Chains A and B, each alone.
Chain A
Amino acid sequence: MVKVCGLFLVLTLGIYCLPAQDRSEGTTIGDTAGEASSGQAMFQQNCGFCHGRDGRGASGPDLIRSTLVNHDVSGDLIGPVVHNGRPNQGMPAFQLADAQVRQIAAFLHQQGKLASTVASRIPTEYPIEQLLVGNSDAGKAYFNGSGRCVQCHSVTGNLAHVASKYKPLELQSRIVFPDGAKSTATVTDRSGHQYTGEVLYSDEFFVTLFSDGKPRTWDRRTAKVAIQDPLAAHVGLLTQYTDKDIHDVFAYLESLK
């Protein structure tokens, strides 16, 4: 689906596209983390056998997709179903206290919210074991050989202990493209004077450098502009990497923690 990244929202780890508003806000009124946590145990003990441990259905229906559950507020709709059962669909009645029903409702709402918010971003605490599928030796060979990483990097120099600096997911994405390095440029104006500095802004029409102690802007029609992007080699690699290369180099760098 559509996401709009802010025009200048450039994060070091790439761009997270966040929805403008979490659609499930309204369903969690009155639910608290504590209630949900108690509700989880209650749910798994009483309901999980038929509805699945996470409410996503088993022999009984998926409750995360349920209209009734999604319209429920603090157990007002779930309560009667729990207390009366649905005998003609094979669901027995459960004699749970109102507070317990509220807890179960809080758990189900939390699960629903989880299912929908997973859409907005990857968990930052992504488990490293999911990512460690590569071969560290192969990664080392790629790093020193065909990947030509050593042309710019050294595992004892600029990448020393790099795996300790970044969370696993961030490290993997930075292997592919370590965004954040600033471009520099040399501008030659009409009089032939040259200015060099960090690029503060650049588009088709203008360039702004921090040069000689202050920001300076040129109309590109009046100047010759040569931009040096320190990540140009990484852009070139985007079509070269195989997934195996990425996973192997990740395993290698992680092994050097």
Chain B
Amino acid sequence: MASGGMKLDVEGFKKQIEEKKKAILLGVKEGFKNGQDYLENIMKFYIEETVYNVYTPVMYDRTYELRDNVTAKVVGNSIYVYVDSTGMDTTADGIPYPYRVLEGHKVHPYEHTPNDGSWAGYMNERNWVEATREEFISHMNQSQQFLQIVRDSIQKRI
């Protein structure tokens, strides 16, 4: 009697799936790296809008350290977008200047305040982190651009 049917190489199939999974993960990481500039530019745009464009200072000159130090960095399987405070000037209590804006003069006193003792607008706390993060996330949720960079990188690997 002739034997029929076919033999399924389950082990080989499993191996192939594992290899694809590795390739996809590598593609994702590569996509994150390829998308770093894009993410930094979008974050810079929102920092510009939520921090700088709402106010023109008269009591001090801007350094633009906050905007210029936006960094996107791949760590393990994740990508982080943040402001790198390494090397920034610090306040008397050791806080990088741009972060002082978050909690204002009451928490991190400014060195220079109006001579007449009045309260100037720049001394108020301004939570630019929440505002910027919210806008950045909603942009990412809507726009396909970053996803596309990652998808393309995966496609090249598989």
Q: Do A and B come from one complex?
A: no
